[in-house]
């Protein structure tokens, strides 16, 4: 992810490092679907936790492909091989935090001595990200653009965020390791990932349950039942959560016109959007996303 790859816009790199010390690196990845090497663009040079701002399919070596979306973080060891396939029309937009090997192993040791000593200490390919952590990383990247940003403060915040993401990955893995028989579990996970892809490809459209079910050729009842069993969430709650996270990157463009942002995000009024946003993140959508 830190290669100087060119995007579909001449002279603009897909990936840009915005902060770097010996142990912590932060970058912005912006790869449009029009980029000729979209499927394989990017190389992993650090121990990375990436926070998607749009959605793509990710296919990792020896892993079933999955949907990378703003509800989760993707995790990489240096040299990891992967491919991406489009879902969001905008392409693959994400922000990422990279850390040094000794720091990666130090953090992982908190969760697993075995993994910390493994050649590839980041053993889980993705993790669910709570609203608090998602907002923290958005604040961190906003902070990086400030002239008074302090390196020690940035490093401390980044280490805390990476640690919390990895902790979520271990917690999720512990919960799912004792679930239903593997074959049935794999089939249900594939169904749910496919449903997510349909929802995310038309995120701001008012698609129905039947629309999504038709898109993956299953019954609406089976879809609802499987989605809730696999994710603990309804289809509607999942779409609403992703819409709200996506608006965090749009508040600047819509500043002064939150009613228009609310309608764009699928909410029927300014007050409906504001209430949902505050309930999710504990702050108003009108705030400047550059906290001190």
Q: Is residue 197 part of a domain?
A: yes
pLDDT category of residue 52 using cuts at 50, 70 and 90? very high
The CA distance from 191 to 265, in Å, is 25
Task: Write the DSSP symbol of residue 110.
Answer: T
- 221 and 140 in a single domain? The answer is no
Last residue of a domain, one of 143, 176, 209: 176
- 188 and 267 in a single domain? The answer is yes
Q: Is residue 87 part of a domain?
A: yes
- 98 and 232 in a single domain? The answer is no
- 21 and 119 in a single domain? The answer is yes
pLDDT digits (tens, 9 = 90+) for 219-277: 999 999 999 999 999 999 999 999 999 988 776 667 668 888 888 888 888 888 889 98
pLDDT at 157: 96
- 216 and 275 in a single domain? The answer is yes
Among 32, 82, 27, 78, residue whose Cα is nearest residue 57: 82
Q: Is residue 7 part of a domain?
A: no
Q: Tell me which residue has tokens 């912005």.
A: 28
pLDDT category of residue 177 using cuts at 50, 70 and 90? low
- 81 and 192 in a single domain? The answer is no
pLDDT digits (tens, 9 = 90+) for 96-106: 999 999 999 99
Residue 145 belongs to domain spanning: 15-176
Domain count, the chain: 2
- 153 and 169 in a single domain? The answer is yes
Q: Is residue 98 part of a domain?
A: yes
pLDDT category of residue 185 using cuts at 50, 70 and 90? confident
pLDDT at 264: 84
**Which pTM does this prediction carry?**
0.86
Last residue of a domain, one of 148, 176, 204: 176
- 119 and 144 in a single domain? The answer is yes
Last residue of a domain, one of 176, 198, 215: 176
The CA distance from 276 to 82, in Å, is 35
What torsion, rounded to 10 degrees, do the Cα atoms 59, 55, 176, 131 define?
150
Position 168 pLDDT exceeds 80:
yes
């Amino acid at each position: 992810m830190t290669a100087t790859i060119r995007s579909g816009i001449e002279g603009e790199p897909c990936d840009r490092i915005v902060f770097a010390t010996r142990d912590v690196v932060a970058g912005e990845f912006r790869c449009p679907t029009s980029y000729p090497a979209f499927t394989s663009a990017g190389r992993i040079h650090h121990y990375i936790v990436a926070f998607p701002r749009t959605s793509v399919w990710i296919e990792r070596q020896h892993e079933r492909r999955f949907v990378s979306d703003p509800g989760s973080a993707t995790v990489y060891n240096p040299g990891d091989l992967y491919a991406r396939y489009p879902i969001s029309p905008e392409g693959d937009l994400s922000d990422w935090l990279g850390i040094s090997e000794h720091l990666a192993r130090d953090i992982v040791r908190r969760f697993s001595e075995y993994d910390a000593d493994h050649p590839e200490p980041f053993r889980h390919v993705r993790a669910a990200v709570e609203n608090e952590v998602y907002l923290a990383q958005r604040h961190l990247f906003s902070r990086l653009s400030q002239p008074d940003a302090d390196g020690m403060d940035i490093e401390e915040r980044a280490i805390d965020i990476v640690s919390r993401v990895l902790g979520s990955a271990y917690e999720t893995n512990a919960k799912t390791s004792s679930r239903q028989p593997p074959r049935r579990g794999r089939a249900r996970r594939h169904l749910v990932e496919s449903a997510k892809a349909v929802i995310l490809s038309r995120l701001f459209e008012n698609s129905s349950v039947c629309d999504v079910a038709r898109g993956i050729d299953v019954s609406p009842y089976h879809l609802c039942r499987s989605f809730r069993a696999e994710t603990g969430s309804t289809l509607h709650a999942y779409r609403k959560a992703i819409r709200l996270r996506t608006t965090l990157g749009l508040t600047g463009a819509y500043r002064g016109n939150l009613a228009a942002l609310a309608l764009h995000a699928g909410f029927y009024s300014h007050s409906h959007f504001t209430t949902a946003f505050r309930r999710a993140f504990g702050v108003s959508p009108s705030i400047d996303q550059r906290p001190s």
